[in-house]
Chains A and B, each alone.
Chain A
């Protein structure tokens, strides 16, 4: 089945230790998104790629970076995680960004910072 896959599902890291989260998709969608969701909060868009074009949200901390080496894969790098970065990180994809486009989410990676 076509799907969005995230690895790992759970990640424990130490304060300040870089961490990379992975997302892959078999949907062949052009757009890939990274969201951060904290408990009882709305998913917050960090950035997205439309093909190779990278779009960073204005309030995304510099600590967060992303790479998309090809259509199928997208990575979220957190350079120096702080305690406040503990959250669920959600990857989503869509065919495009038009009015009718829906986003499909992966299962998420829960990040714990010690």
Chain B
């Protein structure tokens, strides 16, 4: 069965410092990987995805993520954090190798990012 783990409930970073939000996954086939961000009382907004190709993907608001097949990870990164980056971040995976006509998107539990001035 496919699964996603976000090992940190919260990440605290000082403004201007680099940030990393961790994500590991487990699938039987090839993964499609996604990061979403959620601001208070809002729906989830798409940040970036890995489908195939270059392992380093760049997304919205200066975020990037690196697909590491051997470590089954897809960590979210940003070189210089902003206070406005403070939000809840979700990693998600779809197992494109699973059988059946429906490939469900599985979300991690979320990591709360707090960027301090």
Q: Do A and B come from one complex?
A: no
